[in-house]
Amino acid sequence: MSLMSLFHLHSQYALPVGTLCIVALGWALSRTHKLHYPPGPPEESMVSGNLSDLPAKFAWDTYIGWGAKYGDILHFRVYDKHTVVLNSYEDNVELLDKRSAIYSDRPYMPMVDLMGWLSFDTAFMQYGPIWRGHRRIFQQFFKPDVALNYRPMQTKKIHDFLGGLLTTPEDFADHYRTLAGAVILSIMYAHDVAPKDDYLVHLADTSATQLTENIFPNSTLLFAFPSIFRHLPAWFPGAGFKRLALEARKVAFEMRDIPLAAVQKQMKEGLAPNCVTATVLETCQSKEEFDVLAGAAATGYAAGAETTASYLAMFFQAMLLYPDVQRKAKQEIDAVIGSERLITFNDQSSLPYIEALCREVMRWRQVLPLSVAHASTSDNLYKGYYIPKGATVVSNVWAIAHDPKKYPDPHIFNPSRFFDQDGKLNDDHVGYVFGFGRRICPGRHLASATIWLAIATVLQNFDIQNKKDSDGHESPITEEHTDGFVIHPLPFECSIVLRSAEARNIILEAIGGA
């Protein structure tokens, strides 16, 4: 097609077809470059590249399969967008940690933008001064020594969680979701969650679900030409993604604004709460500073609640599937702590098997299998391969966590893999599950602490058993999990059974019950 013939097309087709021609021309010119991209599946189309190769589900498994054929560093192209996938821990460290100066940006995600998250969420925000403002807040309030100050509050919320399991064990999933939200909401906004059906916890759950289910839209045109198709009206045929985005946007901004407005109201009434947002609000001098605070707080609120809840769900699932692991963990607790008092953070060093179990929960089912993609800000060479400026760089954390060379039988839940030949914990803290480089999760110390104490105290006081029907038959348990940006186990049932009368007494004492 000549450029002149474009003018004879109906106006609704001219711009997209013209854009495709430009993309094809740019691609053809790029092929004259003497440097080579990393290997990957052969392109099916000169224009769309590897579009037909993109996996519909569980992309991390597809990338592992490609890696077995092409190597640990992969490349594919969709239209004019290049993606590099890193399947090995070493390559992630080399590029995202050691070369973080050029690999700390984020790719533009049109659906995230349409859903409103890109305007305030630290995790998706492109590298720059606004992101650095967010990061300063997290560094100030969540660095390791400061995170220790939150342990009394974490302990209280975990005791409330145990109380919920004691009174309504059948609602165990609601209880761990409430715990995940309770910790971060208390720190950020001094919000004391309701035992059940808390509105702010519901907001976080709803918003996170909308994000994880729609972050990768079923709209190829939106991905390929976001500057054009993102402006389609919601009623336009094929623009269903726009309707989903508008619904999610409303919830996202409610999640950002409602809890912060409550803190502002208390401060105006002279009742300033003890929390991160109140502390920072006292020094805010401009709308820009206020917006940074609002975004950073909402990021911590949403991300902390969603990922912590998922890890706790994986824990309950693993204990049903691997009862021998649960039995061994209880043996350590009974021998070291007993049942006269609840486990505290001070016991962590004396419970190495519980520490190993927590590491295995995070390794076995990495809740962000592909982390959050990075983007290169300049051309780069690595191992002789050309990585262009603007390329999306994907950390296949699932591949790292399931590398059979490092973790034999990687799909088996086995905490003993974290002990050396002398029976001591090794130095593998599975820190890669929190990301790499300058974009590593700033709340990782807080999240790890909550997960550890929740798991330890549940195992101390309860037996997690398969649920039985009226005929005594156990409900089947699957190892399967959802697909998406953040994964969760498929819904399952279990019985949470109190281990002893002593367990009941120490829980009631902790929560102030009779």
Assess if residue 24 is contained within a domain. Answer: no
The low-confidence residues of the chain, meaning pLDDT below 70, are 1-34, 216-240, 513-514
Residue 389 structure tokens: 């400026």
pLDDT given at position 210: 86
pLDDT given at position 471: 75
Within 13 Å and on the Cβ side, how many CA atoms surround 36?
8
Assess if residue 250 is contained within a domain. Answer: yes
In what helix (H) or strand (E) does residue 142 lie, and over which residues does it extend? helix 129-142
pLDDT given at position 305: 86
Give the Cα separation of 111 and 248 in Å (integer). Answer: 10
pLDDT given at position 287: 94
pLDDT given at position 422: 94
pLDDT given at position 197: 84
Give the Cα separation of 336 and 341 in Å (integer). Answer: 11
Measuring CA to CA, how many Å separate 49 from each of 41, 46, 52, 77, 289? 10, 6, 8, 5, 43
Q: Is 441 annotated as a binding residue?
A: yes
Assess if residue 14 is contained within a domain. Answer: no
Assess if residue 479 is contained within a domain. Answer: yes
Other beta carbons within 10 Å of 262:
16
Q: What is the CATH number of the domain that holds 426?
A: 1.10.630.10
Residue 360 contacts residue 414 (beta carbons within 8 Å):
yes
pLDDT given at position 239: 59
pTM: 0.89
pLDDT digits (tens, 9 = 90+) for 292-311: 999 999 999 888 888 999 99
Assess if residue 316 is contained within a domain. Answer: yes
Assess if residue 20 is contained within a domain. Answer: no
Other beta carbons within 10 Å of 316:
20
Assess if residue 444 is contained within a domain. Answer: yes
pLDDT given at position 253: 95
The total of structural domains in the chain comes to 1
pLDDT given at position 227: 57
Assess if residue 17 is contained within a domain. Answer: no
Report which residue type is found at 171. Answer: D
pLDDT given at position 213: 77
Q: Domain range for residue 495?
A: 33-511
pLDDT given at position 224: 56
pLDDT given at position 228: 56
pLDDT given at position 65: 97
